[in-house]
């Protein structure tokens, strides 16, 4: 019996629906494996279709195309290493999330997923059947068990595979990022290794898909839980892993351990990657955004420049009579530091025309928030006109605090195709700006250094829609607001929980009210990078018409 086995791990970026393009990537990985003398190349969960497909996978023509491509790959990759690739499978009339093993021009095995995740961003019970637990498959000298993603988060599937003769666990994943997710994965997989006594390979997808970011970070554990290989986060990578069969069974020969960045860098890289992929996968090459001189638009401009290169970013200042000289100077300073295209488009003339148009209808009424919001909606109209004219996707710039309580104008500053900071609270935006000023990485395409002037970070936030306006006129101070939102949204807590944490009942009730009445705005808002387990869209799904309120303990 051979005592060595080389396995090529392809941590690659698939595009949902691009079956031919994903197959080409699989063939390229297979060619690299062949050149390296590998016995097998492995690709992640549902790689051939991309992930998360949502209801697209249920379309018969789509999953039939994918299955046909699996068989085509088997023929095309006959003369060389085996290939393991994720794709849908049909058994009778039922659709399954499957892992296909191809070798010698044929399909040698088809493992189907048993445990179907049905929480947070996953609806797999809606899409797939739950298959019985299958035994291991054989490639060369190795009996391999492949619990697919969620199957490895439960004890029963890996234990059954070990009991039926598996010598190695190869776990294909489409596991999306949220803060601290890698630690959770590694802790759980160490448990699987200790329970089964088998080495485990955790192979994850990488790349952005709508709001989700698949962060890669694939790793290999030897029996006992020792880390034998760590692949990078947020980056495509191919690794050749050598396994050796000794007196105690198969073991992975230790390889490279990639650096794992801190939480701020992971969040920032996730926002850059998700924006870059969203543009690439929807066919856009350039973006524009309104640059107000404030902190939110400054960090979005920086993320966009890091993702696409400053030459592909247009920033537009749209001043009114309430725009301060400081904001004009700050916006220009950010644009010049980044090296982006910068336009100034005053809105006074357009606003006067709209005011005159509405004057007969608004006669005998007093100016109020309506007139303030006209400014925002006029800016949205002008930015969308530029987006249409130049073929540049408009980015929106509301942070999670504002998105949560509706501190944004629908059809105004909420207009846009994507929002990279949608899941980042305002207090963290401040910290992220300081982090980016102090750090630069090779995957960032914008200049290094202090691209966001300290005065932009330090000045009191303001929408500048009326004289001397401050965000704190309408909302609790951001440390208070964010603290309450973290309890109500991220922790799914109660008014009583807020009070126990030291916040006033008045502030907690006010924030809860704003949270619920703003649901209709979020329903119509642009997608944005998911950074937490409580992102607005698939993680947290609330009714728009909702009259329930938490009374709290009186």
pLDDT in tens, 400-409: 999 999 999 9
Which of helix, strand or coil describes residue 536? strand
DSSP label at 133? P
| pLDDT score of 400 | 97
CA distances from 251 to 3, 4, 199, 224 (A): 10, 10, 6, 11
Tell me if the bond preceding 449 is cis, omega within 30° of 0: no
The segment(s) of the chain belonging to CATH 3.60.110.10 are 4-255
20 is catalytic: no
Catalytic residue among 25, 77, 124, 149: 149
On average, the pLDDT of the chain sits at: 95
Which of helix, strand or coil describes residue 517? helix
Tokens 């010049």 label which residue?
336
Q: 264-473 is classed in which CATH architecture?
A: 3-Layer(aba) Sandwich (3.40)
Average pLDDT over residues 167-176: 97
Average pLDDT over residues 518-542: 94
| pLDDT score of 475 | 87
CA distance 135 to 544: 46
| pLDDT score of 4 | 95
pLDDT digits (tens, 9 = 90+) for 371-388: 889 999 999 999 999 999
Q: Which helix (H) or strand (E) holds 213?
A: strand 212-215
Question: Residue 28 — φ and ψ, nearest 5°?
Answer: -65, -40
45 is catalytic: yes
| pLDDT score of 90 | 96
pLDDT digits (tens, 9 = 90+) for 8-38: 999 999 999 999 999 999 999 999 999 999 9
| pLDDT score of 461 | 75
Q: What is the pTM of this model?
A: 0.95
| pLDDT score of 129 | 96
pLDDT for residue 518 is more than 70: yes
Percentage, residues of the chain above pLDDT 90: 92
Average pLDDT over residues 445-457: 96
| pLDDT score of 553 | 64
CB atoms within 10 A of CB 454: 11
Inter-residue contact 326 to 293 (CB < 8 Å):
yes
Catalytic residue among 113, 281, 400, 422: 113
Average pLDDT over residues 400-422: 95
Which of helix, strand or coil describes residue 202? strand
**DSSP code string of 316-375:** EE---TT--HHHHHHHHHHHHHHT-EEEE---HHHHHHHHHHHHHHHTT----HHHHHHH
CA distance 179 to 263: 7
CA distance 463 to 376: 9
Catalytic residue among 25, 45, 433, 512: 45
Contacts (Cβ under 8 Å, ≥6 apart) of 210: 278, 527
pLDDT for residue 471 is more than 70: no
Question: Residue 213 — φ and ψ, nearest 5°?
Answer: -125, 120
pLDDT for residue 298 is more than 90: yes
- Helix runs in 473-548, H state only: 478-485, 495-500, 505-517, 519-523
| pLDDT score of 466 | 63
Rounded to a whole number of angstroms, the distance between the first and last alpha carbons of the chain is 73
pLDDT for residue 359 is more than 80: yes
Average pLDDT over residues 143-166: 97
The segment(s) of the chain belonging to CATH 3.40.50.620 are 264-473
| pLDDT score of 287 | 98
Structural tokens at position 507: 């502030």
The model's confidence at residue 120, banded by pLDDT at 50, 70 and 90, is confident
Q: Provide the CATH number for the domain formed by 4-255 in this structure.
A: 3.60.110.10
CA distance 214 to 175: 6
């Amino acid at each position: 019996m051979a005592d060595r086995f080389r396995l090529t791990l392809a941590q690659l970026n698939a595009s949902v629906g691009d079956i031919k393009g994903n197959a080409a990537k699989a063939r390229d990985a297979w060619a690299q494996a062949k050149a390296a003398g590998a016995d097998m190349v492995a690709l992640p969960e549902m790689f051939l279709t991309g992930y998360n497909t949502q209801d697209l996978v249920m379309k018969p023509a789509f999953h039939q195309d994918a299955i046909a491509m699996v068989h085509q790959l088997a023929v095309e990759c006959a003369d060389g290493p085996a290939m393991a690739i994720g794709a849908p499978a049909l058994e009778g009339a039922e659709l399954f999330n499957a892992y296909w093993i191809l070798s010698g021009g044929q399909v040698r095995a088809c493992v189907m997923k048993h445990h179907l995740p049905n929480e947070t961003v996953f609806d797999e019970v809606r899409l797939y059947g739950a298959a019985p637990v299958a035994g291991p498959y054989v490639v060369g000298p190795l009996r391999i068990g492949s619990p697919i993603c969620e199957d490895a988060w439960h004890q029963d599937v890996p234990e059954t595979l070990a009991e039926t003769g598996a010598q190695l666990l190869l776990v294909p994943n489409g596991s999306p990022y949220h803060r601290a997710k890698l630690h959770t994965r590694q802790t759980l997989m160490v448990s699987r290794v200790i329970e089964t006594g088998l080495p485990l390979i955790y192979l994850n997808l990488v790349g952005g898909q709508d709001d989700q970011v698949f962060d890669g970070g694939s790793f290999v554990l030897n029996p006992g839980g020792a880390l034998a290989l760590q692949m990078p986060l947020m980056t495509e990578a191919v690794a050749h892993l050598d396994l050796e069969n000794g007196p105690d069974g198969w073991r992975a020969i230790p390889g490279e351990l990639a650096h794992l960045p801190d939480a701020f860098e992971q969040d920032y890289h996730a926002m850059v990657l998700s924006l870059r992929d969203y543009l690439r996968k929807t066919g856009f090459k350039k973006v524009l955004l309104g640059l107000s001189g404030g902190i939110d638009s400054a960090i979005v401009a920086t993320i966009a420049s890091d993702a696409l290169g400053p030459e592909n970013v247009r920033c537009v200042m749209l001043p009114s009579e309430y725009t301060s000289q400081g904001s004009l100077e700050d916006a220009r300073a950010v644009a010049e530091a980044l090296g982006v295209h910068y336009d100034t488009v005053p809105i006074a003339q357009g606003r006067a025309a709209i005011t005159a148009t509405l004057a007969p209808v608004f006669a005998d009424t007093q100016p109020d928030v309506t007139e303030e919001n006209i400014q925002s909606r006029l800016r949205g109209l002008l930015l969308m006109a530029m987006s249409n004219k130049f073929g540049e996707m408009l980015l929106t710039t509301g942070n999670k605090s504002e998105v949560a309580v509706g501190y944004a104008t629908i059809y105004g500053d909420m207009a846009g195709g994507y929002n990279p900071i949608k899941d980042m609270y305002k207090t963290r935006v401040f910290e992220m700006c300081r982090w980016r000023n102090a750090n630069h990485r090779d995957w960032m395409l914008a200049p290094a250094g202090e691209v966001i002037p300290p005065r932009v970070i330090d000045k009191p936030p303001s929408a500048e829609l009326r004289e001397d306006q401050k965000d704190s006129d309408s909302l609790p101070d951001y440390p208070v607001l964010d603290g309450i939102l973290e309890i109500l949204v991220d922790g799914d807590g109660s008014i009583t929980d807020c009070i126990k944490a030291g916040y006033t009942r008045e502030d907690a009730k006010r924030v809860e009210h704003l949270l619920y009445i703003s649901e209709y705005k979020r329903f119509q808002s642009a997608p944005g990078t998911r950074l937490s387990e409580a992102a607005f869209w698939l993680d947290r799904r609330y009714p728009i018409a909702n009259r329930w309120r938490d009374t709290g303990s009186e």
